[in-house]
Amino acid sequence: MALQTTFLHQPAIAAMRAQLGDSIVGQHALLDRLTLALLTGGHLLVEGLPGLAKTTAVKALAAGVHARFQRIQFTPDLLPGDLTGTDIFLPAEGTMRFAPGPLFNDIILADEINRAPAKVQAALLEAMQERQITIGGTTRALPPVFMVMATQNPLEQSGTYALPEAQLDRFLLHVVLDYPSLAEERLILDMQIDPPPQPGGAPADLIDVATVLAARLEVRQIHLAGALRHYIVELVRATRDPGALVPRLANTVEAGGSPRAVLALAHAAQALAYLRGRDFVLPDDILGLAADALRHRIVLALDSELQGIRRDALIAALVEALPVP
């Protein structure tokens, strides 16, 4: 079934995604998830070791969208005002003026987000959920395209702070990166030693903010059948009491996915169908995104962590046990 003719902006989004693939070797899941976050207005949490092209990918996305990009290095001494901005006094005029912080950009890279303390994370919560910032009793709207891609290193724990569950729930997807394949890593080396010739002229097919906002409206029109909607609700509810579906997983979870997880998985599946050139969601769209949409929303019981139970294995068991419509 082909895309409806009303989906006028899908070819531009597909071309932008193809350009990302030309800029980044491998990491197809990351590039797809970045595009899904852009199409849904969601935020992305990326977990991976240094050197896996996390920063390069989000920079390439910002360039492809022709959007304002800002990288913020999170550190233990970061203050909320360093993100949001602050009111400054102008002695010559005897007045206060607001100096906007780096959050007042379209695409934000929050690098090593778990290195900042709770007060900084709290300042980020309002921006991520409400898309606004309140300072001194005045509320200011953030740009309409506003999205955050946050990174964290899974190995380094010294000098880090665990992200609160309330903030984790604000991320549409949590992507875990692995090393590239042998062929991809060789290609990375070859491209550095013998870089391909750069085409002359200005970059082609850049999309603008208006195109992104129009594409987001089109994504909302992607058909999600009633049976698939029910499946998504059942899957998320199963994360709260996995033992009811898989007896061996009884008492392994302290808290499961919230209703926000239902919305995130449904909306991400619509965006993936749109990106793949369809006007309807297939079960494979949901199954392919289930782990990324749920892993950061599941809080394992202490005994489960001590026994080595992993969130991804738990989600896989639930997906296997729950019949797909």
More confident residue, 206 or 279: 279
Among 218-232, 235-249, 277-291, 297-311, whose mean pLDDT is lowest? 297-311
Coil/strand/helix, residue 133: strand
Residue 273 has pLDDT above 90, yes or no: yes
Give residue for tokens 């738990």.
314
Spatial contact of 316 and 255, defined as CB atoms under 8 Å apart: no
* Per-residue model confidence (pLDDT) at position 208: 86
List, for residues 155-203, the tens digit of each pLDDT value. Answer: 666 667 888 888 899 999 999 988 888 988 888 788 788 877 665 444 4
Q: Which domains does the chain have, with CATH numbers?
A: 10-188 (3.40.50.300), 222-321 (1.10.8.80)
Q: Is the pLDDT of residue 52 over 60?
A: yes
> Quick one: which of 138, 127, 78, 125 has its CA closest to 103?
127
Give the model's pLDDT for residue 243.
92
Integer Cα distance of 181 and 61 in angstroms = 23
User: Distance between CA 161 and CA 120 in Å, rounded?
Assistant: 11
**183/207 Cα distance (integer angstroms):** 31
Q: Mean pLDDT, to the nearest integer, of 20-27?
A: 78
pLDDT of residue 303: 83
CA angle in degrees (0–180, nearest 5) for 281-285-291: 140
Mean of all residue pLDDT scores within the chain: 87
Q: What is the mean pLDDT of residues 233-248?
A: 94
Count helices and strands in the chain by DSSP H and E runs? 13, 11
Number of C-alpha atoms within 13 angstroms, CB side, residue 311?
22
CB 167 within 8 A of CB 125: yes
| Residue 142, both tokens | 């953030």
Report pTM.
Answer: 0.89
Backbone region of residue 155 per phi and psi (left: phi > 0; alpha: psi in -120 to 50; beta: other values): alpha
Residue type, 204: A
Residue among 210, 213, 202, 224 nearest 278 (CA) = 224
